[in-house]
């Protein structure tokens, strides 16, 4: 932790193509949730509204912390890079925000699987794994653990029995 109370989080060997696919999926899902929330103000299930409110809160509180990394990711996609290392300087509170985002997207997946109101399918397995790793890196490193590169995390996750 720095003297300002911020923590350096290092994202190692981020798979650029997986990030881009995951980002596209979540952008589409959030756009559909926004349309659904706007069309159904009373709402039968408040999952879209809750997720959208959380996304707005996080954008307000944390977007300024990732401007340089977003630019690096865009350049990596354009250049066709396979992986990229990123460094973030974040407040300790980001760990709780990451946990909340992960839980919210799990709820969104359940909403999508129900198939009642959305065209979107539940998140693809690779994108879910990526999300868990990416958000988990913030949580783990804020808690003082060392970074775990994507390939090592993915191998460990693949070796875990599913329940």
Q: Which residue has the higher pLDDT, 62 or 133?
A: 133
pLDDT at 36: 67
**DSSP for 142-153, written as a single string:** HTTPPP--HHHH
Is it the case that residue 6 has pLDDT exceeding 70? yes
Among residues 53, 40, 28, which one has the least CA distance to residue 124? 28
d(CA 115, CA 136): 28
Quick check: helix, strand or coil at residue 83? strand
Residue range 59-63: average pLDDT? 61
Is 34 or 84 the better-scoring residue by pLDDT? 84
Distance, CA of 48 to CA of 1 (rounded, Å)? 35
For 58-62, 120-124, 159-163, which range has the lowest pLDDT when averaged over its residues? 58-62
Which has more pLDDT, 19 or 120? 19
CA distance 33 to 119: 10
Using DSSP's 3-state secondary structure scheme, residue 88 falls into strand
Tens digits of per-residue pLDDT, 9-36?
A: 999 999 999 999 998 888 887 777 776 6
Better pLDDT: 148 or 111: 148
Distance of CA 114 to the CA centre of its chain: 22
d(CA 133, CA 42): 35
Please tell me the pTM assigned to this model.
0.81
Give the separation between CA 98 and CA 68, rounded to whole angstroms. 19
Query: Is 59 a residue whose pLDDT tops 70?
Result: no
């Amino acid at each position: 932790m720095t003297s300002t109370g911020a923590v350096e989080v290092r994202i190692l060997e981020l798979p650029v193509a997986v990030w881009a696919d995951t980002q596209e999926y979540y952008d589409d899902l959030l756009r559909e949730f926004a349309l659904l929330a706007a069309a159904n103000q009373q709402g039968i299930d408040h999952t879209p509204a809750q997720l959208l409110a959380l996304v707005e809160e996080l954008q307000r509180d944390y977007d300024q912390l990732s401007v340089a990394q977003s630019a690096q990711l865009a350049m990596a996609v354009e250049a066709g890079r396979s992986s990229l290392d990123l460094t973030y300087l974040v407040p300790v509170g980001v760990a709780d925000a990451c946990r909340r985002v992960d839980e919210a997207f799990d709820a969104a997946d359940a909403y999508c699987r129900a198939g009642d109101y959305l065209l979107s399918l539940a998140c693809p397995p690779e994108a879910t794994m990526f999300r868990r790793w990416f958000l988990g890196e913030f949580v783990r490193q804020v808690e003082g653990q060392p970074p775990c590169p994507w390939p090592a995390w993915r191998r460990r996750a693949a070796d875990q029995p599913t329940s």
